[in-house]
Amino acid sequence: MFKRPNGLNSIALRLSAMFTLVALLVFVLIGGALYQQVDKGIGLLPEAELDARFSVLESSINRFGNPDHWAKISAKLTLLSEEDKRIRFWAVSGDPHYEYGAPDAQIRAFAQSPTGVRDLYIPGKAAPYKVLINQIPAKEQRPALRFLIAINTETFRQTQHHLLVALISLAIIGVLLASALGYWVAHIGLKPLIKLSQEAQKLAPPRLSGRLKLSPLAPELEQLVSAFNSTLDRVEQAYTRLESFNADVAHELRSPLTNLIGQTQVALTRGRSAEHYFEVLQSNLEELERLRSIINDMLFLASADQGSKASKLTRASLAGEVATTLDYLEFILEDAQVTVQVSGDAEVNIETAHLRRALINLLSNAVQHTEAGQQIEVLIEHTGKRASISISNPGQAISAEHLPRLFERFYRVDAARHNSGANHGLGLAIVKAIALMHGGDVFVRSADGRNTFGLYLPV
């Protein structure tokens, strides 16, 4: 059954969570920077306003020093503070005629602070006043006075507060939006993947011939699909090979069994001489030996298939192993009137019994396909990290369709099977299994009137 993507591992959920985190980070960074900049700007505003107001007032205060003029100034200050409720003025001097704003004791004391901008906390007010204290020198009858312009910072605070609230709520909305949109986008983006897995679900074992479609796919998925398809190719090939292998095994076992059953039944249908029974038993034994040999070879191949590796490795000279093998095959070579020329050498780690078996199979295969008076060439090469043994004999070219399949079990170029003794079509398959058990491989070439079979071994 197709399982819907859910749970914490869902790619869509994880992507949208990541979108959310990214959005959060971006909003916090931008919002924080923005807030700081604006905050700094707002912090400078009161002082700028105080300075501006003072510079306007300073010249008019300084113009004359008589009571009339001061009365005008006082009226102007009153007018100004009524126009803008945030602003208050105080003038503090020894002489009550030249004072303004009815300074109480707190203000009087505060006015004696050094000139400049200071904070003044007035009881009952939440925010402090920013106060600019200036010294205005005496002029004519007017004594020197401390002139204070105060501005209530409450509004600036409120502005700051509004900004903060606005930024935070924008960030929250933005993050929520990003995560929702992220989920949606991820979901849309993952659609091809979901479609692909639904398609892959349909490729259950009995339908191995099916493949995933490549055409309307995102390029990111194409590699996955082609890798998946080529895996399926290999699985299907192996599956087909296995099926035909089973059929071949049954066939190979069937003919000796047919002989065994038939001969024994014929022998038993009527009384026979002891000699006849002896004959039959001997013939049966030959068939049974054939069965044993096939079964042993198949067991060997099966253990190689199960990943059994060559153990008991010893370091040996390949030329030495070839020489030992040729010594064993001496009589066969002489009978066939075939000579062998060996060149090159390499040292490798091998399980000698296995390698000899492979060499015997390769060489006797070569002898069988070489005409009397001709020469087999054995070439041992050492290139980089591997050594190779190639055994080539002059012979009819093997057509290209057969080449890649020669090392398959029971594969024969000529369909007519010659069931001769030990030669039951597993020889080259065993060579391949032995090469694989050593971490190597086999190869075959047919060119220029020579057929070359061989194996690679890691050095």
Partner 1 sequence: MRVLIIEDEEKTADYLHRGLTEQGYTVDVARDGVEGLHLALESDYAVIVLDVMLPGIDGFGVLRALRARKQTPVIMLTARERVEDRIRGLREGADDYLGKPFSFLELVARLQALTRRSGGHEPVQVTVDDLWIDLISRKASRAGSRLDLTAKEFALLSVLARRQGEILSKTSIAEMVWDINFDSDANVVEVAIKRLRAKLDGPFEHKLLHTIRGMGYVLERRSV
Kindly state whether residue 289 participates in binding partner 1, applying the rule CB under 8 A: yes
Least separation in angstroms between residue 405's CB and partner 1 is: 18
* Selected range binding partner 1 among 64-72, 232-240, 362-370, 371-379, rule: CB under 8 A: 362-370
Our CA angle for 418, 422, 427, nearest 5°, is 90
Closer residue to partner 1, CB minimum distance, 146 or 357: 357
Q: Is 135 in the site for partner 1 (CB under 8 A)?
A: no
Q: Is 7 an interacting residue with respect to partner 1 (CB under 8 A)? A: no
Residue 93 near residue 143, CB atoms below 8 Å: yes
427 to 446: interface string for partner 1, x by CB under 8 A: x-------------------
Long-range contacts of 144-147 (CB under 8 A, 24+ apart): 144/93, 145/91, 145/92, 145/93, 145/98, 145/99, 146/90, 146/91, 146/92, 146/93, 146/111, 146/112, 147/54, 147/57, 147/58, 147/61, 147/89, 147/90, 147/91
Q: How far is the CB of 13 from partner 1 (least distance, A)?
A: 47
Q: Least distance (Å) from partner 1 to the CB of residue 285?
A: 3
- Is residue 295 a contact point for partner 1 (CB under 8 A)? yes
Per CB under 8 A, does 299 bind partner 1? Answer: yes
Binding flag, residue 293, partner 1 (CB under 8 A): yes
- Interface pick for partner 1 out of 99, 248, 297, 351 (rule CB under 8 A): 297
Residue among 30, 203, 257, 288 that touches partner 1 (CB under 8 A): 288
Q: Is 255 in the site for partner 1 (CB under 8 A)?
A: no
User: What is the four-CA torsion angle of 263, 266, 268, 272, rounded to 10 degrees?
Assistant: -100
Which region among 5-13, 100-108, 353-361, 446-454 touches partner 1 (by CB under 8 A)?
353-361
Token pair of 234, please?
Answer: 């290999």
Site string for partner 1, 311-350 (x = CB under 8 A): x---------------xxxxxx--x---------------
Interface with partner 1, residue 150, by CB under 8 A: no
> Of 161 and 309, which CB lies nearer to partner 1 in the complex structure?
309
Task: Please provide the DSSP assignment of 156-203 as one string.
Answer: HHHHHHHHHHHHHHHHHHHHHHHHHHHHHHHHHHHHHHHHHHHHHHT-
Q: Which residue lies nearer to partner 1 by CB, 159 or 324?
A: 324
Burial annotation 145-180 (CB, 10 A radius, 16+ → b, else e): bbbbbbbbbeebeeebeebeeebeeebeebbeebbe
Query: Residue 415 carries which DSSP code?
Result: S
Give dist(CA 172, CA 326) in Å, integer.
85
Structure tokens at 191: 């659609």
* Residue labelled with tokens 């923005």: 34
Binding site for partner 1 (CB under 8 A): 282-286, 288-289, 291-293, 295-297, 299-300, 303, 308, 311, 327-332, 335, 353, 356-357, 360-361, 363-365, 421-423, 427
